[in-house]
Amino acid sequence: MSFKVAVVGATGNVGREIFDILAERAFPVSEVVALASSRSIGTEVSFGDRVLKVKALEHYDFSDTDICLMSAGGEVSKEWSPKIGAKGCVVIDNSSAWRMHPDVPLIVPEVNAAAAAGFTKLNIIANPNCSTAQLVVALKPLHDRFKVKRVVVSTYQSVSGAGKEAMDELFNQTRAIFTAGEVSTKKFPKRISFNLIPQIDAFMEDGFTKEEWKMMAETKKILDPKIKLTATCVRVPVFIGHSESVNIECEKPITADEAREVLRTAPGILVIDKHEPGGYITPHEAAGEDATYISRIREDNTVENGLAFWCVSDNLRKGAALNAVQIAEVLINRKLIQPRKQAA
C-alpha cells in the first residue's frame, strides 16, 4: 500500500526536514506534493533524489490525498486544516492551533500512539510543541515505573525553533560582532548572539510565557493530567537542538541506576551518561539525529524520590518533522487509514 502525501509549508525549515525524513524512512508514498503560499510557486525542494516544484495551497484539491503534513504556522492551520480534513485527508499539524482541542489527539508515538485513533471527528492530529515532545519521551518510561508527580524543567532552546529568520538573525548578529558592524534586532526582543533570552513566545497574565504554558498543558494531555509541571523557557544562541534541565519527583523510590536502566530500554531514547569530561550529549551532537538523548542522570536528595537529568534533541526532527512522520506511520501500521485511490 502506498499513500499520496502533501506537505504544506514545504519551503520552511520543518517542511524541508519532512521531505528528508520521508525519504530516509522509505515512507510508502505513491506521490508527494509540495505546497506553500502562492508567492512560493515554482520554488524547488528536494525529496530524496527527486526535485519537486512547489504548488499553491489555495489552488490544491485534497480530495484524492491521504495525508497532509502541515507546517505552515497556526493561522494557516486554523483556516485550512478543517477544510482539508473535511475532504477526507488526515492532517498532521505542527502548529499550536489544534493541540488543546478536545476532538484532536495530541500525539508522541513513543508515549501515546493508541490515542491517534481519536482523529476521526475532525481528521486532524496535532504534533506537540518541540520542547514538550522530547520531554514526554523521557518522562514516559520513568512515569510508567516510578509514577512522576512533579516536574521542574528549564529549557535551552535553539533559534531554529523560531524559524529561518531567527537563524539568519543569529548568524548576522554574530558576523556583525566580529566585524565591528551594526547589530540589528528584528526577530528577538533582545540580542541573541552571545546572549540568552529568558522569553519564548508572549507573556501571559500570570507571568509565564505561552511556551511555558504549552509545556505544562501539553504534558498533562499527552502523559497524565495529574502531573504538576513548571517550566522556564530560554532562547540560546544555538542553531539546532533543544536542551532541557529536568528535575522530577516520583511517588515511588527511584535511584539513578534504576532510572538509567529504564531509560536505556525505552523507545526513542539514547543514554549517554559517563561521569567524565565530555561524557554527555550537547545540541551540537544531537543535530541531525532522531533520538532523544539523556545525560547527567543523578538522584536529587533535596526531595523524596527525586531525580535530575539532562535531555537533548533535534527540535526540527523529533520536535517537529520526525514526530509528524512517525504519527503518519502509526496511522498506517495500525490500519487507521487506507489509500483512497486503491480503496476506490
Query: What domains are there in the chain, each with its CATH number?
Result: 3-127+321-334 (3.40.50.720), 131-158+196-313 (3.30.360.10)
Alpha helices, H only, 147-301: 164-178, 210-222, 256-264, 283-286
pLDDT at 88: 96
Residues in the chain with pLDDT values less than 50: 343-344
CA atoms of 228 and 221, how far apart (whole Å): 12
Cell numbers standing for residue 160: 531554529
Per the rule left: phi > 0, alpha: psi between -120 and 50, beta: everything else, 196 is: beta
Cell numbers standing for residue 30: 505513491
Annotated binding residues: 11-14, 39-40, 99, 157, 160-161, 235, 315
143 is catalytic: no
How far is CA 148 from each of CA 9, 121, 141, 145, rounded to the nearest angstrom?
37, 31, 10, 9
pTM for this model (two decimals): 0.95
pLDDT at 220: 98
Annotated binding residues for substrate: 157, 235
How far is CA 336 from each of CA 3, 30, 73, 89, 115, rounded to the nearest angstrom?
13, 18, 26, 12, 11
pLDDT at 340: 85
Catalytic residue among 89, 143, 242, 250: 242
Sheet holding 29-36, edge to edge: 55-56, 29-36, 3-8, 67-70, 90-93, 124-126
Cell numbers standing for residue 284: 551540537
59 is catalytic: no
pLDDT at 342: 59
* pLDDT tens figures, 232-281: 999 999 999 999 999 999 999 999 999 999 999 999 999 999 999 999 99
The one-letter amino acid code at 182 reads E
pLDDT at 341: 75
* pLDDT tens figures, 311-338: 999 999 999 999 999 999 999 999 999 9
